[in-house]
């Protein structure tokens, strides 16, 4: 369900130097779990880019801008995220506000 202004999706591209990647990914385990446990979090994924070893992709979704703003005030965001981002070479985030979200149920035919 989307909020009055629409669902908020955040897509991030995080670049890491090789010496920081393992530490970042280890820290990410607890951070991702905490984010997923938030009542307003619809989904939260932080995964390695299989085409670029120096990049991690973040995809998260909240039902509204207000819900995302609450996320930005959580303890894990204000304490763990800055430590993680200190390990990054660069990061780029894109925000998408979706007024209408529909389900696409593809049919998989094995035969």
| pLDDT (tens digit per residue) in 54-69 | 999 999 999 999 999 9
What is the residue-wise DSSP string for 34-78? HHHTSTT-SEEEEEE-SS-TTEEEEEEEESSHHHHHHHTTSHHHH
Rounded to 5 degrees, φ, ψ at 109 are -105, 110
Averaged pLDDT score across all residues of the chain: 91
Q: What pLDDT score was predicted for residue 2?
A: 56
Any idea which fold 7-98 has? Alpha-Beta Plaits (3.30.70)
Structure token pair of residue 8:
């908020």
Single pTM value for the model: 0.85
Strands in 88-98's sheet, in edge-to-edge order, are 43-48, 55-62, 7-16, 88-98
Domain residue ranges in the chain: 7-98
């Amino acid at each position: 369900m989307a909020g009055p202004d629409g669902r908020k999706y955040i897509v991030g591209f995080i670049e890491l130097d090789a010496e920081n990647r393992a530490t970042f990914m280890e820290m990410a385990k607890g951070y991702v779990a905490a984010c997923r446990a938030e009542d307003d979090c619809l989904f939260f994924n932080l995964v390695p880019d299989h085409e670029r070893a120096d990049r991690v992709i973040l995809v998260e979704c909240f039902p509204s801008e207000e819900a995302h703003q609450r996320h930005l005030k959580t303890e894990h965001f204000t304490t763990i995220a800055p430590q993680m981002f200190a390990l990054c070479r660069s990061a780029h985030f894109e925000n998408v506000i979706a007024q209408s979200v529909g389900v696409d149920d593809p049919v998989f035919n094995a035969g």
